[in-house]
Structure 1
Amino acid sequence: MIAIDDILEKIVSKEIEKKEALRFFEELPEKEKSYLVSKLKTHLSNNANSVENNFSEKKERTLKAVTELQLNEEHKGFIDQMAQKLEKNAPKSKENASECQTYFVDQRRTGGLKKALKRLQFHLTYSECDGAYLYDIDGNKYIDIASDNGVNLFGHQPDFIKEAISKRLDKGYPLVGYTEELSQATKLFSELTGHERVLFTQSGTEAVMWAVRIARAATQKKKIVIFEGAYHGLSDTVLAAKDQFGNSIAMGLGMIQEFADELIVLDYGNMEDLSIIEDRADEIAGVLVEPVQSRNPNNQPVEFLKEVRKLTLEKNILLIMDEMITGFRVSCSGVQGLWKIKGDLATYGKIPAGGMPSGMIAGLTKYMNYVDGGTFDYDDESMPSVKKALMAGTHTRNPIKLAATLAILTEIKKRSSTSENKTDESNSCFLQELNEKTRLMCEELNSFFKTKNVPLIIEYFSSLFRFKFLDDPNGVVKELVFVLMRINGVETSPSGNCFLTLAHSDKDIKSIIRVVKKSIDTLMKQNFFYISDSIEEDEIKEDIRSTISTIPDMRNDPEQESIKNDQMEKLRKLIISDLNNFQEKEVTI
């Protein structure tokens, strides 16, 4: 439902007028209406909660961000000035971005694309990188807080990784058979994480896909529980949205509903949803969870996850901890070590891959044996004892990535061993200074946003942080902030996830803070924020949420299909009515 997602983004970012939104909604098939309503409900709920939690004490004075439809001639003049400045600073990057479109297919180039800002939104072309910095082909230097989507814990191309890769290249990199790095890397990985066995894959998406396959093979059950707001890669087997009845819906064009039917999408942290897992335990092979969601790092439901762990142990359900982002970031044992909640399986990538394309699955021997049948002795009668699930890949044990992985893990172990703290989490101590720097930076900026009364916060966990725009999360002001940061020498991530690394100096962090503050001050000076009485809008949003919440729960109940259809028709009329109310009162959502 990529087309629906595009329209949804345009609705919530006010890129299309209300009449057009109403017309589009009326023409949708029922399933797509359901999907759109579910996403709209989530958007409204998230906005209300964020505003209530962070700006309630100054509600009557809360500034609002200008939407694309509200841009006036002064705004457009400022955007034009910025476009001219950026084109002057990075002409080669703009030219290369245009040339790349002909043959290179890239979804990310359209992420957040706004018609009014198009001239500002071309991707930079980097010529080199080093430590905390990126350099473009026009000679500009940037402090990098994208960190290659969280890969570079030690910054770009640290010497110990470059040396390891160079030595392996000199020896060659045979893809079939073993190299000496393989046994060393897997042993060290298990030692640092506490998992019994480990498997290398070709990507993070593939690691999650295979972990799900292991869970189904081990339990002989089909259903997988995932949670709203989590991201587990691009496999059809783990991508689904939830409609207002709790049913799973395929998320994009080309994706098959039958895959979504095998997923149960729940709300992360909602204790009431545990009853669904308990009631359907005979169907559920695994619960797949980002313990701290990369898209919602403030949501850290420790007690909820402990209850999930208890329930999965009782019901013969595998708990799969997706630590693609958090693994080796908060500690070597990730959130599992921090919260003392161990998964049966866990997926990794990013940091321990050393910048090379890779993923990892680690876990209990009894489950990992479903990949290779288990261990045996070459000198006796023993043979693999477990029936295997099909898994393969040409680059799963590519020696170049193994060399990088071994170098990263060796460096982590070396830094850990210098710690005087001998607690169970001694392997995390060298990371705590970085995590504390991240916290202090984010708190200073959040205090600044609050003082300025702008609808913006930074959510963070360990060295991960995200800018969250409360009233217009996909709007022009969000994109303008990032463009201004780029113009002033700080490069952010198209995905929204930002990171501090061990390569960032205190001076770099001060520069990041200064650039963010300068960008907000500039937009305030140019009147991209305005004072608005939001009470009426909040009341209308609450009416919609209350209306939707009165609809009965009909999760995956075929006997209730006719009732559900009636309810969907009522819901359609209610949504149209509410959208009309927005139009009549000149309120935007």
Structure 2
Amino acid sequence: MPDSRAAEERLTNSPIEAAYREKTPGSAALAAEARELFPSGITHDARHLKPYGLYVDKAAGPIKWDVDGNDYVDFFGGHGALLLGHADPRVTAATQEAVAEGTQFAAGQRREIAWAKAVKRLYPAVERVRFTSSGTEATLMGLRLARDFTGKNKVIRFRTHFHGWHDHMTHGVASHFDGKSTPGVLGGVTDAVVLVDPNEPEQLKRVLAEDSDIAAAIIEPIGGSTGYTPLAPGFLAMLREETAKHGVLLIMDEVVSGFRLAPGGATEAFGVTPDLTSWAKILAGGMPGGAIGGRQDILDALDFDAAAAKGRDKIGHPGTFNANPVSAAAGTAALTIIAEGDACARANETGRALREALNRVIADKGVPWAVYGDFSIFHLFMQDGHPVADPFAFDPLSLPTVAMKDRPKELIRLLRLAMLVNGVDLNPACGGLVSSTHGTAEVDRAAEALSASIDMLRRAGQI
């Protein structure tokens, strides 16, 4: 039997996978249909899971229900878009009202103005905003604005940091750390990207001192891949100081961290003000939408009159659904709730309690893992080559950044399936994001699920 067939048979015979299949026959049937329609049967890489991913019918607050009627505590969190949980009634009402009035006017409308004001309310240093339809588009525009403003060509990126899927951003995230291009990307594009290791200030300073063609540095302010590879204390402030010293723009990619760490995102939480900020996810209240914002003199490259006054071509930026009224309504409602309430603080506190509860389970079960993170974000570390003696003392900064990405894929897959069997949905790295609707009941349920899942892994001979 070929190796691939043998591997497939082992997967099919796994008792954990068998329990998952037994629980989710409706998802299995839909996945079979999807495989005839989509590559790998999915529409987002992060939804890839063998033998098949979950198919969900509805969700409310911290819970979602699959097509078989099973309920799950959701820590996938709409890929980070749902700080307020699923189907917040205030956001839902605003969205429904907007849909009923029309989804695309091909004209300006009141809601886009209210949305931009809601952003500026929480990020007072932002002088101008330009809406896009996604976070990828926002970071793409950020690079273009930086090159136009500085007259320089290159951008500094940090290994493991994710900024979307446009050509400048695909290598050096989960692979191709040597700077070579990923499939389908022209090699010349990567020549304009300088990959730097995070938490290596001397390396950064050397690049800035030796290369006069750097237009911008872009960074996830919570660390690479939503903080899976965290930043050392003080690194972000140092980056701001060094970029300013060399006339290099700083772009903080707050697609995940924006409006989550604090109402004013990482800018408020860390006291660091960039030249440009990219947002998405929470920005649009769970609907499609992104934005780039920052200094007026930089965003003037998008302004017809300002560009003409300088005798320059403006940067073109069409987009059928930029600032569409439905996303604008949802986003304005969500940002208003965040500005006037304690959603960030509640999510952050539950995140702390969850990390502590999961680490108690890990310690009690005697597995060499650890849960870590900050604010309302958590990650699970589980590498054979780096066993953890005490999960409460684990320091992710003690390991090389790239080594942190060397995850045990099969163990993660089986743990995800086991957690689903036990009623908890995690992200592809067995981590997740906490919403303001998660509470003590969901923390307790997650801890119980992890305990039961570890038992399942042991019985299956996986740990």
Which residue of 2 is the match for residue 213 of structure 1?
144
Deviations 1:310-367 (A, max 9, x none): 1111211100000111111111221222211110000011112111111111101111
Counterpart of 2:362 (choices 449, 456, 459) is: 449
Deviations 1:236-291 (A, max 9, x none): 022333999996211x2111110001000000010221233322342100001111
CA distance in 1: counterparts of 2:72 and 2:235, whole angstroms: 40
Which residue of 2 is the match for residue 325 of structure 1?
256
- The 1:384–1:180 alpha-carbon spacing in structure 2 relative to 1, beyond 3 Å, is farther
Which residue of 2 is the match for residue 234 of structure 1?
165
Which residue of 2 is the match for residue 341 of structure 1?
272
Deviations 1:487-538 (A, max 9, x none): 1111122365511111113111110111012111232244322xxxxxxxxx
Amino acid in structure 2 at the alignment position of 1:138: D
Deviation of residue 304 (structure 1)?
A: 2.1
1:248-263 to 2 correspondence within 5 Å? 248-250=179-181, 252-263=182-193
Deviation of residue 485 (structure 1)?
A: 0.7
Deviation of residue 374 (structure 1)?
A: 6.2
Counterpart of 2:215 (choices 282, 285, 305) is: 285
Which residue of 2 is the match for residue 271 of structure 1?
201
1:471-550 to 2 correspondence within 5 Å? 471=384, 473-494=407-428, 496-529=430-463
- The 1:140–1:347 alpha-carbon spacing in structure 2 relative to 1, beyond 3 Å, is same
Deviation of residue 128 (structure 1)?
A: 1.3
Which residue of 1 is the match for residue 56 of structure 2?
126
2:73 is the counterpart of 1:143: yes
Which residue of 1 is the match for residue 395 of structure 2?
none
Amino acid in structure 2 at the alignment position of 1:431: C
Contact 1:134-1:144 at 8 Å conserved across structures: yes
CA distance in 2: counterparts of 1:128 and 1:249, whole angstroms: 41
1:426-445 to 2 correspondence within 5 Å? 430-445=343-358
Q: Tell me the C-alpha RMSD between the 2 structures.
A: 3.0
- The 1:172–1:162 alpha-carbon spacing in structure 2 relative to 1, beyond 3 Å, is same
- The 1:109–1:434 alpha-carbon spacing in structure 2 relative to 1, beyond 3 Å, is closer
Which residue of 1 is the match for residue 22 of structure 2?
88
Which residue of 1 is the match for residue 391 of structure 2?
none
Helix, strand or coil: the match of 1:128? strand
Amino acid in structure 2 at the alignment position of 1:135: W
Amino acid in structure 1 at the alignment position of 2:376: S
CA distance in 2: counterparts of 1:179 and 1:148, whole angstroms: 27
CA distance in 2: counterparts of 1:355 and 1:245, whole angstroms: 31
CA distance in 2: counterparts of 1:111 and 1:407, whole angstroms: 28
- The 1:310–1:388 alpha-carbon spacing in structure 2 relative to 1, beyond 3 Å, is same
Counterpart of 1:356 (choices 283, 287, 298) is: 287
Deviation of residue 152 (structure 1)?
A: 0.7
2:35 is the counterpart of 1:101: yes
CA distance in 1: counterparts of 2:447 and 2:275, whole angstroms: 40
Unaligned stretches of 5+ in structure 2? 385-405
Counterpart of 1:186 (choices 99, 113, 116) is: 116
Contact 1:292-1:300 at 8 Å conserved across structures: yes
Between 1:499-508 and 1:520-529, the stretch displaced more is 520-529
Contact 2:416-2:430 at 8 Å conserved across structures: no
Amino acid in structure 1 at the alignment position of 2:194: I
Deviation of residue 113 (structure 1)?
A: 7.2
Identity of aligned residues (%): 26
1:461-480 to 2 correspondence within 5 Å? 461-471=374-384, 473-480=407-414
Deviation of residue 84 (structure 1)?
A: 3.7
Deviation of residue 225 (structure 1)?
A: 0.1
CA distance in 2: counterparts of 1:134 and 1:245, whole angstroms: 36
- The 1:275–1:244 alpha-carbon spacing in structure 2 relative to 1, beyond 3 Å, is farther
| Higher CA-based Rg | 1
Contact 2:20-2:418 at 8 Å conserved across structures: no
Contact 1:371-1:389 at 8 Å conserved across structures: yes
CA distance in 1: counterparts of 2:279 and 2:372, whole angstroms: 22
Which residue of 1 is the match for residue 326 of structure 2?
400
- The 1:154–1:389 alpha-carbon spacing in structure 2 relative to 1, beyond 3 Å, is same
Which residue of 2 is the match for residue 411 of structure 1?
337
Contact 2:277-2:293 at 8 Å conserved across structures: yes
CA distance in 1: counterparts of 2:112 and 2:311, whole angstroms: 23
- The 1:397–1:246 alpha-carbon spacing in structure 2 relative to 1, beyond 3 Å, is closer
CA distance in 1: counterparts of 2:84 and 2:234, whole angstroms: 32
CA distance in 2: counterparts of 1:430 and 1:166, whole angstroms: 22
Contact 1:192-1:332 at 8 Å conserved across structures: yes
- The 1:174–1:523 alpha-carbon spacing in structure 2 relative to 1, beyond 3 Å, is closer
1:354-393 to 2 correspondence within 5 Å? 354-373=285-304, 387-393=313-319
Contact 1:222-1:284 at 8 Å conserved across structures: yes
Unaligned stretches of 5+ in structure 1? 1-14, 17-67, 377-381, 416-428, 530-589
- The 1:189–1:171 alpha-carbon spacing in structure 2 relative to 1, beyond 3 Å, is same
Deviation of residue 474 (structure 1)?
A: 3.0
Which residue of 1 is the match for residue 371 of structure 2?
458
CA distance in 2: counterparts of 1:346 and 1:291, whole angstroms: 11
Deviations 1:68-125 (A, max 9, x none): 98x9x9xx699544444333322121011011111123567887979xxx4xx31122
- The 1:245–1:405 alpha-carbon spacing in structure 2 relative to 1, beyond 3 Å, is closer
TM-score (norm 1): 0.69
Amino acid in structure 1 at the alignment position of 2:416: F
Helix, strand or coil: the match of 1:249? coil
Which residue of 2 is the match for residue 24 of structure 1?
none
Amino acid in structure 2 at the alignment position of 1:287: A
Helix, strand or coil: the match of 1:395? coil
Deviations 1:149-206 (A, max 9, x none): 1111111111111111111122112341111111111112111112111111011000
Higher share of residues assigned helix: 1
- The 1:308–1:281 alpha-carbon spacing in structure 2 relative to 1, beyond 3 Å, is farther
Deviations 1:17-45 (A, max 9, x none): xxxxxxxxxxxxxxxxxxxxxxxxxxxxx
Amino acid in structure 2 at the alignment position of 1:432: A
Q: Aligned residue pairs: how many?
A: 436
